[in-house]
């Protein structure tokens, strides 16, 4: 009954139509259970209504999903890994605490790629997450369940985390809005660390307004996370309608020029690039100035290996605490080493182990200079280049992906030369901590495709403001898959 | 090409093991990444660039006053452990 309603519409139901938050929760809970077997958005669905009523905010009584790598006291938090399959935290993450204090109502903990590593939504210990627009396709990851719960219209918003593109890529594949604010804008206290220098918390919503509304509540300085920024005391919702005439954007030739792909027979990719350029023309008509810039291809080709080196190295170290002894399943053994060996062998899936070994190798003394430090140097060169462009431009606009959501039997071509830049450029947002948002801009073969906008550090309000205008041009706000509805068309 | 034995050594250091075919996949993945990292090393004057370990300098970050904040009780710390004794985590004997 309340499926697919956004925050403003739900607010209206509660404030003006006398619908109780509990009634909306019951209906949402029922829908979550109904779609769970087929789509697997949740690790845990909360069955008991719980809402703090001390503060009245825009989110009071609004249901939401929270990625299962975010700590929730007394609620199972597994990070979608066998090594944490029975872990019940004893403290709340700051983002959860803020949402609780704002009166938001938790509906479920959402599935992720194990330990937030991976971009397919297929590696969780509870099974694969299916794309609401076509269940034979992936939703992408790692914030797979958060994207899926929003794209199915179950909740108006969900919280995700983003280390390389983990909010913004599933947003593209799922036809929702994925926003990762500036590094430090939202506290990471209580987020299970993957790669601390790249990790961000962010939102998945069905329109830009709702992204702004949620971030308005969850941003701010946190003494428990010394990387957080002092609050900018801005209300992002109230900046959404600011005039954008004359705002300057750039796109990167080495990613978007169709001539680069002239030998390709990938019709979907070529169509996406066509639609992207058409969209740029429409945005120009609305007052944006959009220009092409060129960036050294060698630097862009280094994005993926740089990301792999830094993220795997940090992940190896961050996850060393997963021993099965302090928490997690503990196996029998005659020594603590034997226990740990069994716990970690059985607790991690293959992909996680491969990444840890890569990280460990990179951090060995003899490899540090060439592998780890060189990656950190490339990171600086890339971020410096983007910051230099941001002196002249207010933002960077690019297709979020060169494909629609892949089918489960598609082989990964992420490492192939053709896709090396097009499929991995979103990491620029993590390297520099830039605010970055993906929103749906077209449909190809009945599947959504996202456009990405990235702006200057600390200018989250401007990024949301510009994205709000782009959304008006795309006309694709508040879309969701009606699958499973009795009135489905 | 990195040898499988070396990969096995790293796995052991990280305190887990993998199946034989998983080492083969890992070996292939290593070769791709190492090849790409070789290209990075060839970027002119790369060694002169200062490594970047955080996105930007956060001027708001400062050390807090050294006063007691929130902390977990012993019971909370032990809540997820399978075996405890005298408010401590129990593990097999270390000293024989």
Q: 3-state secondary structure string, A257-291?
A: CHHHHCCCCCHHHHHHHHHHHHHHHHHHHCCCEEE
CA distance A63 to A142: 21
Residues in A touching B54 (Cβ below 8 Å): 197, 227, 433
* ipTM for the predicted complex: 0.94
**DSSP-derived 3-state class of residue A353:** helix
* Contact criterion met (CB < 8 Å) for A298 and B46: no
Q: Which positions 44-103 of A are in contact with B (Cβ < 8 Å)? A: 86-88, 90-91
Instruction: List, for residues A101-110, the tens digit of each pLDDT value.
Output: 999 999 999 9
Residue B71 lies in a domain: no
Interface test with B, best of A229, A351, A361, A369 (most B CBs within 10 A): A361
Task: State the Cα torsion B49-A414-A205-B58 to the nearest 10°.
Answer: -10
Domain count of the fold of chain B: 1
Burial A272-290 (b: 16+ CB within 10 A, else e): bbebbeebbeebeeeebeb
Structural contact between residues A7 and A64, judged by C-beta atoms closer than 8 angstroms: no
- Tell if the pTM clears 0.80, that is, is over it: yes
Structural contact between residues A81 and A118, judged by C-beta atoms closer than 8 angstroms: no
For residue A142, give both structure tokens: 């790692």
For chain A, give every domain's residue range: 1-489
Catalytic annotation, pick one of A142, A143, A146, A403? A142
Instruction: List, for residues A277-290, the tens digit of each pLDDT value.
Output: 999 999 999 999 99
* Contact criterion met (CB < 8 Å) for B15 and A337: yes
Most confident of A15-29, A418-432, B52-66: A15-29
Q: Which positions 375-404 of A are in contact with B (Cβ < 8 Å)? A: 375-381, 383
Q: Which of B17, B58, B76 lies nearest to residue A345, judging by beta carbons?
A: B17
Instruction: State chain A's mean pLDDT as an integer.
Output: 95
Burial A118-152 (b: 16+ CB within 10 A, else e): bbbbbbbbbebbbbbbbeebbbbbbbbbbbbbbbb
Catalytic annotation, pick one of A71, A166, A172, A477? A166
Q: Which of A328, A354, A370 lies nearest to residue B25, judging by beta carbons?
A: A354
Task: State the Cα torsion B66-B70-B75-B77 to the nearest 10°.
Answer: -70
Lowest mean pLDDT among A120-134, A154-168, B60-74: B60-74
Residue B22 lies in a domain: yes
Over residues B72-85, mean pLDDT: 93
Q: Which of A309, A338, A383 lies nearest to residue B37, judging by beta carbons?
A: A309
* Domain spanning A1-489, CATH class: alpha beta
Which of the 8 DSSP states describes residue A371? I
Choose among A98, A77, A103: nearest CA to A22. A103
- Across the strands, what pairs with B84? B89
**DSSP-derived 3-state class of residue A256:** helix
Residues in B touching A348 (Cβ below 8 Å): 16
Residue B53 lies in a domain: no
Q: Which of A221, A228, A305 lies nearest to residue B40, judging by beta carbons?
A: A305
Residue A27: active-site member = no
Choose among A298, A307, A292: nearest CA to A414. A307
* Contact criterion met (CB < 8 Å) for A221 and B60: yes
Choose among A87, A88, A31, A24: nearest CA to A51. A24
The whole domain housing B20 covers 1-47
Q: Tell whether the model's pLDDT for residue B52 goes beyond 80.
A: yes
Residue B93 lies in a domain: no
End-to-end C-alpha distance for chain A, whole angstroms: 16
Residue B31 lies in a domain: yes
Q: Tell whether the model's pLDDT for residue A489 goes beyond 60.
A: no
Structural contact between residues A313 and A379, judged by C-beta atoms closer than 8 angstroms: no
């Amino acid at each position: 009954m309340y499926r697919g309603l956004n925050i403003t519409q739900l607010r209206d139901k509660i404030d003006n139509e006398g619908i109780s938050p509990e009634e909306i929760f019951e209906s949402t809970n029922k829908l979550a259970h109904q779609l769970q077997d087929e789509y697997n958005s949740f690790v845990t669905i909360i069955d008991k209504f719980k809402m703090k009523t001390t503060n009245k905010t825009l989110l009071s009584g609004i249901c939401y999903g929270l990625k299962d790598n975010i700590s929730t006291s007394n609620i199972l938090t597994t990070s979608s890994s066998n090594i944490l399959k029975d872990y019940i935290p004893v403290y709340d993450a700051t983002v959860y605490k803020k949402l609780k204090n704002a009166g938001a109502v938790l509906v479920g903990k959402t599935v992720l790629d194990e330990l937030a590593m991976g971009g397919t939504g297929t590696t969780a210990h509870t099974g694969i997450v299916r794309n609401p627009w076509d269940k034979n396709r992936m939703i992408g990851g790692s914030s797979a369940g958060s994207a899926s719960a929003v794209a199915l219209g179950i909740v108006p918003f969900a919280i995700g985390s983003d280390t390389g593109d983990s909010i913004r890529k599933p947003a593209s594949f799922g036809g929702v809005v994925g926003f990762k604010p500036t590094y430090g804008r939202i506290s990471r206290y209580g987020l299970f660390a993957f790669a601390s220098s790249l990790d961000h918390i962010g939102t998945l919503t069905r329109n830009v307004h709702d992204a702004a509304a949620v971030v308005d509540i969850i941003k701010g300085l946190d003494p428990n996370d010394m990387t957080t920024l002092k609050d900018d005391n801005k209300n992002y919702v109230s900046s959404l309608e600011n005039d954008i005439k004359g705002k300057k954007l750039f796109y990167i030739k080495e990613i978007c020029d169709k001539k680069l792909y002239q030998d390709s027979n990938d019709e979907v990719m070529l169509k996406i690039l066509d639609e992207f350029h058409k969209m740029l023309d429409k945005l120009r008509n609305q007052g944006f100035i959009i220009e092409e810039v060129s960036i050294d291809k060698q630097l862009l080709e280094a994005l993926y290996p740089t990301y792999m080196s830094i993220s795997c190295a940090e992940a190896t170290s961050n996850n060393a605490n997963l021993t099965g002894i302090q928490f997690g399943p503990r196996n029998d053994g005659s020594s603590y080493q034997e226990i740990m060996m069994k716990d970690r062998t059985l607790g991690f899936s293959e992909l996680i182990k491969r990444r840890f070994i890569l990280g460990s190798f990179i951090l060995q003394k003899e490899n540090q200079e060439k592998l780890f430090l060189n990656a950190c140097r490339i990171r600086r060169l890339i971020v410096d280049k983007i910051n230099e462009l941001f002196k002249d431009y207010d933002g960077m606009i690019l297709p979020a992906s060169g494909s629609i959501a892949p089918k489960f039997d598609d082989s990964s071509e992420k490492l192939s030369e053709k896709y090396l830049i097009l499929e991995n450029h979103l990491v620029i947002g993590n390297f520099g901590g830039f605010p970055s948002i993906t929103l749906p801009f077209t449909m190809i073969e009945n599947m959504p495709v996202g456009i990405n906008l990235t702006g200057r550090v600390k200018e989250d309000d401007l990024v949301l403001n510009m994205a709000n205008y782009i959304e008006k041009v795309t006309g694709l706000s508040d879309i969701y898959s009606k699958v499973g509805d009795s009135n489905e068309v | 090409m990195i040898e499988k034995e070396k990969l096995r050594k790293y796995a052991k250091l990280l305190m887990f093991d993998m199946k034989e075919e998983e080492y083969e996949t890992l070996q292939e993945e290593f070769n791709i990444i190492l090849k790409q990292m070789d290209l990075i090393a060839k970027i002119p004057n790369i060694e002169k660039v200062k490594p970047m370990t955080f996105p930007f300098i956060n001027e708001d970050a400062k050390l807090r006053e050294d006063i007691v904040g929130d902390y977990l009780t012993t019971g909370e710390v032990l809540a997820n452990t399978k075996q405890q004794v005298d408010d401590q985590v129990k593990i097999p004997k270390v000293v024989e």
